[in-house]
Amino acid sequence: MSLKEKFESEIEKCDWDMLKPHHERGAVFIVGESLELVTVAMALAEDNVSQVKIWLDNKDFYKLEETSEFEKEPFRKFAHFLIVQPYVLVKIID
């Protein structure tokens, strides 16, 4: 199984209750609408610093700061997530 296939098979839905502990340790990053979870995961896994920096600079990929919207409904499945240690990548789906 390729790394890409592995990542694709690991994508699951999550709610805020699942993400909160990861957010508290500063590990949750949002993958913007223009990117796919697996694309970002591959860049991180392959240590493609230049590409990741471009995404960060363009705010296509960013650290989650504001959480009040998610805390209103902590058990609503609102995103897909993928873990690429030590990061938790999140793609909002609704």
Tokens 């705010």 found at: 59
DSSP state of 56: H
pLDDT at 2 over 90: yes
Q: Is 94's pLDDT higher than 90?
A: no
Q: Tell me the per-residue pLDDT of 27-76, one tens digit each, with 9 for 90 and over.
A: 999 999 999 999 999 999 999 999 999 999 999 999 999 999 999 999 99
Q: How many residues does the chain have?
A: 94
Both tokens of residue 18? Answer: 């699942």
At residue 88 the predicted structure's pLDDT band, cuts being 50, 70 and 90, is very high
